[in-house]
Structure 1
Amino acid sequence: MELSVRFFALYRERAGCSVTGVSVEPGATVADLLNTVREQFPRLAPPDVQIVVAVNEEYAEPDTPLSAGDEICLIPPVSGG
């Protein structure tokens, strides 16, 4: 299943693009997607950093199942005051 993944802010800079296609198996979860994205973009985030994922404009947990056509966004941690 091919999914479109959007990168925001720092992740966009590190990936070198704002959108990419990612192939995952049918029935894949957010965790599966993140494993694939981290393989494709090893500089995206250190292994100990939890990447925030939104699926169809809702924050998603690692065990959230994905479907073809889902809108997926990867959001870096926010800091500041």
Structure 2
Amino acid sequence: MITVLLFAHLQEQFGTDKLTINETELTVAALKEKLEKEYGWNQGQRVMIAINEEYAMDDDVIKAGDAVALIPPVSGG
């Protein structure tokens, strides 16, 4: 299983702060597609993705037991 942590407005969009994905391995790009199909997530949103607290690219592989964070842009001032 892969744990997906959600922050800021993504918690509202998904209705939770954490998702559990029943996969043993998939790429970041495949995770994005899965979230779009199963949860209606709009991939056009600019978010950073981290695997085990390290920023990841679309071709990076997520493995069972990993924690993935979807981090939306932060603004302030």
Relative to structure 1, the CA distance from residue 74 to residue 47 in structure 2 (aligned partners, 3 Å threshold; closer, same or farther) is closer
Counterpart position of 1:63: 59
Q: List 4+ stretches of structure 1 deviating above 4 A.
A: none
* TM-score, normalised by the number of residues in structure 1: 0.80
- Cα shift at 1:58: 0.6
Task: Output the CA distance in 1 between the equivalents of 2:50 and 2:29.
Answer: 12
Report % sequence identity. Answer: 35
Q: One-letter code of the match for 2:55?
A: Y
Count how many residue pairs are aligned between Structure 1 and Structure 2.
77
* 1:1-81 matched pairs, under 5 angstroms: 2-24=1-23, 26=25, 28-42=26-40, 44=41, 46-81=42-77
Give the unaligned 5+ runs of structure 2. none
TM-score by length of 2: 0.84
Give the Cα–Cα distance (whole angstroms) in 2 for the partners of residues 47 and 16 of structure 1: 17
Q: Which runs of 5+ in 1 are unaligned?
A: none
